[in-house]
């Protein structure tokens, strides 16, 4: 499939099947924000759950946090965001469109109107959304919508470290909304002004920083592969020295082969002791750690893997999208890992029939507490299989007239389309085995 076509097809599928809608669509849309429909919200929840499970549940060295979006404005002075969270902005003098100077094509032509040499000098534009807290809109009431969740973790370092009784190396993980006034949002949910981040700050002793940085680069790559992104569509790209943030001794992007080329999926950064040191200076609180065994005090260094949930969902969708021909007809399917698929099991009565209905309901009631299910009895069975394939449902359970006699159902696999007959009283166990295989 031609690559630009893939993007168009995924975006169409998302709209048509209720994954993602343009925000405020009945008012003509609101550029760069998107709403997640019934299937989209399930997929995104599963993406976040898979991340949380791998970071928090399956490890004993990482704990979770849910900090507020609105924080003390000094936080953003200490972090450097007020002064330096900027992108270079240029205007096209001809068509008046605005662009990020570091994202312009090499030809130097305006991406909107094609004019050459029409750009203004770049000026720095701060990406933080400013708002006011309380009824008086003066300078003293300024607050920011957080552009990342990491600072909520740093300012809680002592709270968490002491209450969870953790010693470096240990991490704090957080998932939540972030806001950036991006100059050029675009590519669907790849770059938006409101998005969700999944960030983990891993606190280590200064000399352990480089080792843990390497570890997290590999670990994050592994996570995507384990959840079904082919290895050849992922790569690790270390930042050039001139790209590095001034405080970072190493940053790598996990890149994905998007239809428009390689681009950032996740960033892994060695942030050194910059954040805790700055918050110590600005707050006057000592955020160092006393290592009893070694009898020494140090400011922990931080390794940060930071991933957007929306961008990550897009990568999973692009990697999962397949079209194939089956008996002369096109079949579209999302080969999503069962842990990510919005619906785990669809229950399909062979036809709308009053004899089949009670047993179809019985099967649905049996499965509902254990799996996210969908019940669909409208249209031919072949078309209903296709509808489930298209949203990535790994398994369909069909209740037919034989079920009334043999108390067994047909279990159909999305990828191979193979079918098995399974007794209802063994169904839950059978499905659990297939879904965790």
d(CA 337, CA 312): 14
Binding to ligand ATP by residue 176, rule CB under 6 A? no
Tell me the two tokens of residue 309: 């949930």
Mark 49-86 as b/e (b = at least 16 C-beta within 10 Å): ebbbebbbeeeeebbbbebeeebebebbebbebbeebe
Nearest in space to 297 (alpha carbons), one of 314, 311, 280, 312: 280
d(CA 411, CA 409): 6
Q: How far is the CB of 312 from ligand ATP (least distance, A)?
A: 7
Mark 418-427 as b/e (b = at least 16 C-beta within 10 Å): eeeebebeeb
| Closer residue to ligand ATP in complex, CB, 78/397 | 78
Q: How far apart are the first and last CA of the chain?
A: 30
Q: How far is the CB of 264 from ligand ATP (least distance, A)?
A: 5
Binding to ligand ATP by residue 212, rule CB under 6 A? no
| Closer residue to ligand ATP in complex, CB, 198/360 | 198
Binding to ligand ATP by residue 150, rule CB under 6 A? no
Whether the CB-CB separation of 160 and 166 falls below 8 Å is answered with: yes
Quick one: which segment of 153-161, 305-313, 362-370, 410-418 binds ligand ATP (CB under 6 A)?
305-313
Q: Contacting ligand ATP (CB under 6 A), which of 44, 166, 180, 414?
A: 180
Q: How far is the CB of 128 from ligand ATP (least distance, A)?
A: 12
Binding to ligand ATP by residue 195, rule CB under 6 A? yes
Binding string to ligand ATP for residues 241 to 280, with x set by CB under 6 A, is what? -----------------------xxxx-------------
| Closer residue to ligand ATP in complex, CB, 197/345 | 197
Instruction: Report how far apart, in Å, the C-alpha atoms of 268 and of each of 212, 238, 244, 305 are.
Output: 11, 9, 12, 4
Tell me the DSSP string of 325-384: EETTEEEEEE---TTT-S-SEEEEESSS-TTHHHHHHHHHHHHTTTS-EEE--SS-HHHH
Binding to ligand ATP by residue 307, rule CB under 6 A? yes
Binding to ligand ATP by residue 79, rule CB under 6 A? no
| Closer residue to ligand ATP in complex, CB, 82/343 | 82
Nearest in space to 216 (alpha carbons), one of 241, 178, 252: 252
Beta-strand relationship, 62-64 and 170-179: parallel
| Closer residue to ligand ATP in complex, CB, 218/357 | 218
Residue nearest to ligand ATP (CB): 308
| Closer residue to ligand ATP in complex, CB, 127/366 | 127
Q: How far is the CB of 147 from ligand ATP (least distance, A)?
A: 8
Describe the crossing of helices 309-320 and 38-52 by its angle, rounded to 10 degrees: 110
Binding to ligand ATP by residue 221, rule CB under 6 A? no
Binding to ligand ATP by residue 308, rule CB under 6 A? yes
Helix (H) or strand (E) holding 83: helix 81-84
User: Which of positions 330-349 make contact with ligand ATP (CB under 6 A)?
Assistant: none
Q: How far is the CB of 323 from ligand ATP (least distance, A)?
A: 27
Q: How far is the CB of 178 from ligand ATP (least distance, A)?
A: 7
Q: Contacting ligand ATP (CB under 6 A), which of 7, 10, 197, 303?
A: 197
Count of residues that bind ligand ATP according to CB under 6 A: 16
Beta-strand relationship, 86-91 and 34-36: unpaired
Q: How far is the CB of 330 from ligand ATP (least distance, A)?
A: 31
Q: Where does residue 305 rank: exposed (0-12), middle (13-18), buried (19+ CB within 10 A)? A: buried
d(CA 396, CA 422): 12
Residues at the contact surface with ligand ATP, assessed by CB under 6 A: 148, 180, 182, 191-192, 195, 197, 264-267, 306-308, 310-311
């Amino acid at each position: 499939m031609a690559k630009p076509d893939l993007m168009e097809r995924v975006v169409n599928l998302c709209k048509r099947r209720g994954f993602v809608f343009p925000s405020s669509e009945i008012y003509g849309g609101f550029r760069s924000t998107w709403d997640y429909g019934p299937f989209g919200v399930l997929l995104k929840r599963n993406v976040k759950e898979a991340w949380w499970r791998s970071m928090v549940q399956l490890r004993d060295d990482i704990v979770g946090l849910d900090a507020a979006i609105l924080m003390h404005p000094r936080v953003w002075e200490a972090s450097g965001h007020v002064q330096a969270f900027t992108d270079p902005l240029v205007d096209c003098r001809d068509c008046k469109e605005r662009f990020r100077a570091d994202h312009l094509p090499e030809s130097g032509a305006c991406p909107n109107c094609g004019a050459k040499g029409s750009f203004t000098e770049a000026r720095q534009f701060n990406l933080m959304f400013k708002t006011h807290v309380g009824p008086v809109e003066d300078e003293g009431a300024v607050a920011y919508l957080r552009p990342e969740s990491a600072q909520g973790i740093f300012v809680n370092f002592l709270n968490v470290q002491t209450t969870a009784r953790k010693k470096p190396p240990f991490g704090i993980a957080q998932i939540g909304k972030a806001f950036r006034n991006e100059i050029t949002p675009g590519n669907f949910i790849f770059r938006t002004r409101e998005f969700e981040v999944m960030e983990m700050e891993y606190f280590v002793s200064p000399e352990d920083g480089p080792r843990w940085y390497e570890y997290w680069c590999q670990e994050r790559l592994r996570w995507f592969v384990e959840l079904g992104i082919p290895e050849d569509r992922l790569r690790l790209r270390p930042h050039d020295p001139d790209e590095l943030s001034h405080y970072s001794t190493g940053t790598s992007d996990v890149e994905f082969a998007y239809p428009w080329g390689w681009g950032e999926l996740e960033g892994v950064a060695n942030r050194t002791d910059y954040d805790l040191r700055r918050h110590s200076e600005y707050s006057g609180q000592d955020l160092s750690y006393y290592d009893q065994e070694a009898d020494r005090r140090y400011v922990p260094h931080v390794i940060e893997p930071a991933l957007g949930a929306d961008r990550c969902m897009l990568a999973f969708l692009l990697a999962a999208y397949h079209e194939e021909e089956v008996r002369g007809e096109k079949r579209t399917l999302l080969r999503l890992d069962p842990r990510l698929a919005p619906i785990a099991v669809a229950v399909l009565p062979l036809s709308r029939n009053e004899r089949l209905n009670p047993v179809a309901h019985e099967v649905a009631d049996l499965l509902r507490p254990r799996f996210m299910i969908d019940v669909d009895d409208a249209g031919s069975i072949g078309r209903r299989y296709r509808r489930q394939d298209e949203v990535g449902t790994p398994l369909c359970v069909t209740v037919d007239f034989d079920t009334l006699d043999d108390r067994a159902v047909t279990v159909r696999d999305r990828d191979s389309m193979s079918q098995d007959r399974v007794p209802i009283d063994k169904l839950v166990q059978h499905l659990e085995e297939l879904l965790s295989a």
